Amino acid sequence: MTRSIFITGASSGIGAALAEEFARRGYAVAIAGRRLERLQYLAARLPALGAASVLPIELDVTDFASIDAALERAAQAFGRLDVVVVNAGVGYSLPVGRGKFEQVQKTIDTDLTGAIATIEFALPRLRAQGGGQIVAVTSVAKSRGMPFLGAYSAAKSGLNRYLQALRAEVRHEPIVVTELAPGYIDTEINRDVKSRPFVIPLERGGALMARMIEKGVGHRYVPAWPWTLLAPLVKLVPTRLLAPRPRKPGGTRGR
């Protein structure tokens, strides 16, 4: 029986890489995202990679009411949804209290509220069909509030806690809850970052994550090495070592 997968944030980056990986595995793939032209371009490529069928869906997860309809459309097209990947996200460098609240709000609305809304609408469908898998993409940034990533770290940390609660609540149901926490994977969201320790190519990141999803893991860092060791240690780093240099009088902050 052909398995199906629904992926948010699939117009680029990790979402697009996962769509390609699951196409190669013969899945029916629903790709959802804000940029319809990119989705259509990707959708045209996936059958040649092996996808059983492809459905592009224009979706902005901050339009919370539209999520339910998008999931319903995919469920109707494929008959069921075996895997729902909650991947849509944004990331900005946002110094606290510098007039960037609009971007702060967009980060929380997308990375936290939009992610939770997707799960809230998906879970009843998985239950009704007798089971399935929820996959959510967080980040190593959930481990610690980092300078200029306060909103992003808060959103990913909040999603991590929600997933912990979800995993406990469905412990005795045929629902698999998978959390994947990437380090630096080479995508548009981080290419302007000056320092990207242990960055890996997008294709490798997508392949690693696809294997973890198919194994039904509970929680994994991506790649597992070195982040399984380093992410917990980040919590222990003294704040003084993370603090940016004070701004010089008449100068600008260097980043």
DSSP one-letter string for 56-110:
EEE--TTSHHHHHHHHHHHHHHHS--SEEEE---------TTSS-HHHHHHHHII
Tokens 């982040």 locate to 227
Q: In this structure, how many other beta carbons lie within 10 angstroms of the beta carbon of residue 237?
A: 11
CB 141 within 8 A of CB 181: no
CB 218 within 8 A of CB 198: no
Residue type present at position 236: L
pLDDT tens over the chain, length 255 residues: 899 999 999 999 999 999 999 999 999 999 999 999 999 999 999 999 999 999 999 999 999 999 999 999 999 999 999 999 999 999 898 999 999 999 999 999 999 999 999 999 999 999 999 999 999 999 999 999 989 999 999 999 999 999 999 999 999 999 999 999 999 999 877 877 778 888 999 999 999 999 999 999 999 999 999 999 999 999 999 999 889 888 665 543 332
CB 5 within 8 A of CB 22: yes
- At 195 the pLDDT is 80
Residues in the chain: 255
CA separation, residue 51 to residues 22, 23, 45, 209 (Å): 7, 4, 9, 18
Ramachandran bin of 133, using left for φ above 0, alpha for ψ from -120 to 50, beta for the remaining angles? beta
Catalytic residues: 152
- At 254 the pLDDT is 34
